[in-house]
Amino acid sequence: MSHGSQIKNTGVQGTTITVTFRRQVADILKPEHDDYYLLRWLRARQWNPDAAEKMLRDSMKFRERWNTDEIAKWPTPQILRDYSPHGVSGYDKEGSPIIIIPFAGFDIWGLLHSVSRADIIRMTMQALEGYMQLAYEQSRKTNDPASRQFVVVFDMDNFNLKQYIWRPASEVVISLIKMYEANYPEILKCCYIINAPKVFAFAYNMVKKFLGEYTIDKIRIYKPDRSKWLPAILERCDADQIPAYFGGTQTDPDGNVRCEQKICWGGKVPKELYTSKEDSFNNNLSFTETEIRKGSKLKLTFDCEDAGCFLKWEFRTYDSDIKFGVKCVNKKTDESIIEVPLKRVSSHQVDESGFITCQPGCTYHVLFDNSYSYFKTKKIRYSVLMTAPLSDVEQTMAPVAVTEELVPEGEAGGED
């Protein structure tokens, strides 16, 4: 949809659509969800109220699973605080936060050897939620809802593509993009990708297919030529809101042109902070080691009786990947919900971990699937447990039935 069409829809027609949409989703809205909030979802789905409703309801379920409303209270691992490059340098001419991301400082290899993928996702959510809260406060000061969007500057200087060819790294990046697109529509005002080397085009083409058109239209990519990208940024942002390192006039009180008091530049994670394969399982969890034969599955079943329970998992395989997924079945209605889509994960390259919030009166089926493999038996070490309500310290294992189900070779997929 063109920009003109979007403007047209913000008039009488847009008001009518917004009223209809508000009526459809009234049961899940909160007091702070004003018309501007609703417009975000409508624009992301080209003013189709039904599609926007599905998107919003799916996002609400996602937020419930990850307890996003309380994400600010999550104790971010110190390594992520020290080595996740991002920060707010100031505000654009309309009052929107300016987020600076020195992307070369994002050592995805080092972080994935130090924390779990789930931690990186939670950290990203925590940052986004924090920026949204800041932008919301700005909009109240400026009395302009446009302040609720962000201006983002990605500095791709010294970008290293090699890290992202590593499958676990590319999977994390794609997961983050999908999470952003599905749950944070229309919070981006403009994105400047500066100092992009030639190899960046290859990386961008890989991830572009996961971006919505409404996001792609706001991205501006510039080669390492300050005479091109700096005027574009300064057209939207005053110089005193941009670090001097990037051509603005802003510095830290001590004269630091990189404004490191506001922006974390990340950097290479020291190897002494890496968690070894053995040490990653020293967190007082009980682990089981077994083999899943070729063409077979390992299925773990948990019953949730009380509200406030969490299903948590951590596992690794040896030599080869495996399919992993989680399904929830309501014991009264037999309705099935896919909590974690069944897909192949590179758990032989980096430990896999995560959790979901459970609903009472439901059965949760955790599946390790090796049915696609004709020849390889997969060795796996895992800990899957359901915590008691509000039990962050003592983790209690709920009753679990473990079954191994053989699949006839004719139904198995090709070898990995």
**What is the CATH classification number for the domain harbouring 314?**
2.60.120.680
Whether 176 and 124 have beta carbons less than 8 Å apart is answered as yes
Shared-domain flag, residues 133 and 241: yes
Shared-domain flag, residues 269 and 310: no
Asked, for residue 167, whether it belongs to a domain, the answer is: yes
Asked, for residue 415, whether it belongs to a domain, the answer is: no
* pLDDT band of 282, cuts 50, 70, 90: very low
- In the structure encoding, which two tokens stand for residue 15, read together? 């008001």
Shared-domain flag, residues 243 and 220: yes
Asked, for residue 298, whether it belongs to a domain, the answer is: yes
User: Which domain covers residue 49, as residue numbers?
Assistant: 12-66
Shared-domain flag, residues 154 and 209: yes
Shared-domain flag, residues 23 and 87: no
Shared-domain flag, residues 236 and 308: no
- List the one residue out of 284, 291, 289 whose CA is nearest residue 322: 291
* pLDDT band of 225, cuts 50, 70, 90: very high
pLDDT at 12 over 70: no
> Where is the domain boundary, 31, 50, 66?
66
pLDDT at 297 over 60: yes
Asked, for residue 145, whether it belongs to a domain, the answer is: yes
Shared-domain flag, residues 193 and 153: yes
pLDDT at 285 (0 to 100): 60
Asked, for residue 406, whether it belongs to a domain, the answer is: no
| pTM exceeds 0.75 for this model | no
Shared-domain flag, residues 55 and 106: no
Contact partners, residue 78, CB within 8 Å, separation at least 6:
none
Shared-domain flag, residues 35 and 180: no
Asked, for residue 399, whether it belongs to a domain, the answer is: no
Mean pLDDT of 255-261: 98
pLDDT digits (tens, 9 = 90+) for 315-343: 999 989 999 999 999 999 999 999 999 99
Shared-domain flag, residues 260 and 180: yes
Whether 291 and 278 have beta carbons less than 8 Å apart is answered as no
pLDDT at 135 (0 to 100): 96
Gap between the Cα atoms of 60 and 76, Å rounded:
23
> Where is the domain boundary, 26, 43, 66?
66
CATH code for the domain of 108: 3.40.525.10
CATH code for the domain of 60: 1.10.8.20
pLDDT digits (tens, 9 = 90+) for 142-187: 999 889 999 999 999 999 888 887 878 888 898 899 999 999 999 9
Element (H, E) at 339: strand 336-345
Asked, for residue 409, whether it belongs to a domain, the answer is: no
Domains in the chain, number: 3
Shared-domain flag, residues 176 and 241: yes
Average pLDDT of the chain is 86
Gap between the Cα atoms of 225 and 306, Å rounded:
59
Whether 52 and 9 have beta carbons less than 8 Å apart is answered as no
pLDDT digits (tens, 9 = 90+) for 77-108: 999 999 999 999 999 999 999 999 999 999 99
Whether 89 and 259 have beta carbons less than 8 Å apart is answered as yes
Shared-domain flag, residues 194 and 334: no
> Where is the domain boundary, 248, 273, 298?
273
pLDDT at 276 (0 to 100): 53
pLDDT at 65 over 70: yes
Strand-pair partners of 292: 378
> β-strand 188-194 against 150-155: which pairing, if any?
parallel
Distance, first Cα to last Cα, the chain: 41
pLDDT at 11 over 80: no
Whether 250 and 88 have beta carbons less than 8 Å apart is answered as no
* pLDDT band of 13, cuts 50, 70, 90: low
Asked, for residue 254, whether it belongs to a domain, the answer is: yes
Q: Name the residue type at position 296.
A: S
